[in-house]
Structure 1
Amino acid sequence: MASFRVKGGQRLKGEIQPQGAKNEALQIISAVLLTAEPVHIKKIPDIRDVNKLIELLADFGVQIEKTGPESYIFTAKDVNLDFLESDQFKEKAASLRGSIMILGPLLARFGKGKIPKPGGDKIGRRRLDTHFIGFQKLGAKFDYHIGTGFYNVSAKELTGTYLHLDEASVTGTANIIMAASMAKGTTTVYNAACEPYIQQLCKMINRMGGKISGIGSNLLVIEGVESLGGTEHTMLPDMIEIGSFIGLAAMTQSEITIKDARIDQLGIIPDTFRRLGINLEFRGDDIFIPAQEHYVIDSFIDGSILTIADAIWPGFTPDLISIILVTATQARGTVLVHQKMFESRLFFVDKLIDMGAQIILCDPHRATVIGLDRAFPLRSIQMTSPDIRAGVSLLIAALSAEGTSTIHNVEQIDRGYQYIEKRLNAIGAQIERF
């Protein structure tokens, strides 16, 4: 198990380039299974979850050519479906939650697919019903074998239908889009997720010869086609990394420029951080965060305490709730942080409390943060990263704290952030991996 030794109290300064979007990458890389032709994907982040998915595709027989540090060509001409029956597949697929994304393209192109119960962050219940209900309504047969732990789907032919999703699941929407892209007839998906990552997937499939309309809305219309071809695709910068760097700059009183941020795709993320009192300046497509001695939390217009809650897009992404919470600990003022989607995502706040933060955990979903306004800096402790986003939140806290902190199980951070200590050390951080 790897750990970070973090010397706090260092002011950072410089430019940092966000990686390609992790959540988009898992969808886009899975979509190469839809075609036998080459698909060239650029800006792929070099992180554990994405690399595991690439290894899984290679095990299926997908030809993979690395054309640059962040670029690959995938050719899924000869896909070995027998690999689905192997112990190696069960072991690898179970260790990666993103493996669920291969079901839609396998079902669309080959008429069958299976997956063991996938892993991922331990942040509460993350049900898969939306995926399988969608497949069933398209005409697939679904069953779950308790003995083997496998979810199985199969269909001689998928047929377009009307779907009103029970929840606007991002991965569920993506899986249904991929399955419906080659179904017979037209599929209408209402209450679809409409995140930029979903928009990117739809645009990519259309370049491959698909026919998807309503992109960017929660009502998608997918006209099935007989086959899809190759294409090129470039990932968006990771909006979660961008939000993490904004919070980092504020907590460490640092002057940081986030390069090539695709501000047009960030939704309300910049304005949400502004409500914590953080100054942001857009310079072309870069975000400049000046060093701030103090930042003051806004309130509602009637003077009541500000609440920041996650919501489906275009609301505030749940993956940044942990970052908002830790950033608020050194602000002036009070904020109620409401994590609606996952009941275990706030359970890392005990570590922040040990560091001296003033946080009241109201229940599994809500925490009230009373900002210290830097009157009492956080103190260094030893801690363990429970999941990707909490891990980075703890890293931000450690970078702002007095003394040297130790963070264990940083493989969780590696799942979502590439070369994080090298990139932060390049702008003045002091992080040692051991």
Structure 2
Amino acid sequence: MGTFKIEGGHRLQGSIKPQGAKNEALQILCAVLLTPETVTIHNIPDIVDVNKLINLLSNLGVKVDQLGPNSYSFKADNINLNYLESEQFKIEGGSLRGSIMIVGPLLARFGRGYIPKPGGDKIGRRRLDTHFEGFINLGASFRYNREDHFYGVEAEKLKGTYMLLDEASVTGTANVVMAAVLAEGTTTIYNAACEPYLQQLCKMLNRMGAKISGIGSNMLVIEGVDSLKGTEHTMLPDMIEIGSWIGLAAMTKSELTIKGVSWDDLGQIPNVFRKLGITVEQQGDDIHIPAHTDGYQIQKFIDGSILTVADAPWPGFTPDLLSIVLVIATQAKGEVLIHQKMFESRLFFVDKLIDMGAKIILCDPHRATVIGHNFKSQLKATTMTSPDIRAGISLLIAALSAKGTSTIHNIEQIDRGYENIEQRLRSIGARIQRLDTN
């Protein structure tokens, strides 16, 4: 188990470039299974979850060539479907949440797709119903082995249809879209997710020869085609990492520039941070955060009531940044209610922040009220364990702002979502060291 040792309380300075988007990568990489032709992808983040998926695709028979840092080519012209029924696949597929998105492309192109119960963050129940109900609507038969938690879908030929998704699931929408592009006839998906990363997937599929309209809306219309060709694609910067660096700058009173953020794809993110009192300046396609030497004050609603920050489907605020918002609020002037609607276990890391001196009331599994210190009482260093990716980076930000030296264990969780994080943080002045405690 790896460990970070962090000497907090130091101001940072300089610029940092966000990695490619993790959540986009997990969709885009699975789409290479839809064609036997070469697909070249750039700006792939070098992180554990993505590397696991690339390894899984290779074991499935995809020819994978690394062209340079963060650039790969993929050619799925000789897929070994027997791998899907192997013990190795049950282990590898079960260790990664994103593995669920190979099912749609495999079902569309080869008539069958299997997956063990996917792993990933322990942040609460994450249903797969939207994925499989979509496949069933397209004409697939579904089976589930309860003994080894193994899912399967099969179909001789998928048929286009109208469907209303039970929730605007990003991965569910992506999976159903990838199945529908090779289905016979027209598929209409209502209550579709419309996040920028899903838009990226749809645009890439259209370049491959798919016929998808309504991109960016909650209704997608897909005219099925017989086959898809190869293409080249560059991923967006990771909006969650961008939000993390905004939070880091505010908490450490640092002046930072975040380079190449793709402003048009950030949605509500800048506005939510501004409501927390943080100055977010646009400089071309960069974000500049000046040093908040006098702190930052949380706004109230126009009737004077306490600000609530809640997650919602795009273009609402992403749930992946609520942990960051919560940490930022611990040193703000004012109060805020954090409402995490999607996952019932994501706020359970707040006990670590309370140990550091934060004033947080955990109202229930979904809501926490934070009373900010206004930097009058600095967080205190402590020893922590990272429970998931987003809580892990939030605890890291707290440690970098705290007085003294903190230790964070289980940093493999952070590595799942953040590329070369200690080197990048050291480049802007952070005092962080990786220790191997095995």
Same fold flag (TM > 0.5): yes
2:330 corresponds in structure 1 to 329
AA matched with 1:254: S
Query: How far 1:148 moved relative to its partner?
Result: 2.8
2:405 corresponds in structure 1 to 404
1:306 corresponds in structure 2 to 307
Question: Does the residue aligned with 1:3 lie in a helix, a strand or coil?
Answer: strand
1:251-400 alignment, distance < 5 Å: 251-293=251-293, 294-400=295-401
2:155 corresponds in structure 1 to 155
The answer to whether 1:224 aligns with 2:247 is no
For residues 177-206 of structure 1, give each alpha carbon's deviation from its aligned partner in whole angstroms, at most 9, with x where no partner exists: 000000000000000000001100000000
For residues 210-233 of structure 1, give each alpha carbon's deviation from its aligned partner in whole angstroms, at most 9, with x where no partner exists: 000000000000000000000000
Distance 2:309 2:395 in 1: 19
2:416 corresponds in structure 1 to 415
1:86 corresponds in structure 2 to 86
The answer to whether 1:140 aligns with 2:131 is no
Distance 2:166 2:409 in 1: 38
Distance 1:237 1:30 in 2: 19
Distance 1:146 1:272 in 2: 42
Question: Does the residue aligned with 1:50 lie in a helix, a strand or coil?
Answer: helix
Query: How far 1:326 moved relative to its partner?
Result: 0.2
Question: Does the residue aligned with 1:342 lie in a helix, a strand or coil?
Answer: coil
AA matched with 1:298: Q
AA matched with 2:406: S
Query: How far 1:367 moved relative to its partner?
Result: 0.3
Query: How far 1:146 moved relative to its partner?
Result: 1.2
Distance 2:388 2:253 in 1: 26
Distance 2:240 2:101 in 1: 20
Query: How far 1:417 moved relative to its partner?
Result: 0.3
1:58 corresponds in structure 2 to 58
Question: Does the residue aligned with 2:215 lie in a helix, a strand or coil?
Answer: coil
Query: How far 1:147 moved relative to its partner?
Result: 2.1
1:2 corresponds in structure 2 to 2
For residues 117-159 of structure 1, give each alpha carbon's deviation from its aligned partner in whole angstroms, at most 9, with x where no partner exists: 0001001110000000000000000010112321000000000
Distance 1:85 1:251 in 2: 48
AA matched with 1:407: I
Structure 2 segments unaligned to the other structure (5+ residues) = none
Question: Does the residue aligned with 1:261 lie in a helix, a strand or coil?
Answer: coil
Question: Does the residue aligned with 2:253 lie in a helix, a strand or coil?
Answer: coil
Query: How far 1:349 moved relative to its partner?
Result: 0.2
For residues 2-59 of structure 1, give each alpha carbon's deviation from its aligned partner in whole angstroms, at most 9, with x where no partner exists: 0000000010000100000000000000000000000000000000000000000000
1:75 corresponds in structure 2 to 75
Distance 1:62 1:337 in 2: 43
The answer to whether 1:118 aligns with 2:118 is yes
1:188 corresponds in structure 2 to 188
For residues 272-296 of structure 1, give each alpha carbon's deviation from its aligned partner in whole angstroms, at most 9, with x where no partner exists: 0000000011000000000002100
Distance 1:327 1:133 in 2: 39
Question: Does the residue aligned with 1:64 lie in a helix, a strand or coil?
Answer: strand
Distance 2:414 2:71 in 1: 22
1:197 corresponds in structure 2 to 197
Distance 1:327 1:212 in 2: 40
TM-score by length of 1: 1.00
Question: Does the residue aligned with 1:58 lie in a helix, a strand or coil?
Answer: helix
Question: Does the residue aligned with 1:344 lie in a helix, a strand or coil?
Answer: coil
Question: Does the residue aligned with 1:209 lie in a helix, a strand or coil?
Answer: coil
AA matched with 1:21: A
1:240-251 alignment, distance < 5 Å: 240-251=240-251
The answer to whether 1:173 aligns with 2:173 is yes
Structure 1 segments unaligned to the other structure (5+ residues) = none
**Aligned-residue CA RMSD (Å):** 0.4
Question: Does the residue aligned with 2:242 lie in a helix, a strand or coil?
Answer: helix
AA matched with 2:331: Q
The answer to whether 1:26 aligns with 2:21 is no
Question: Does the residue aligned with 1:314 lie in a helix, a strand or coil?
Answer: coil
TM-score by length of 2: 0.99
AA matched with 2:170: V
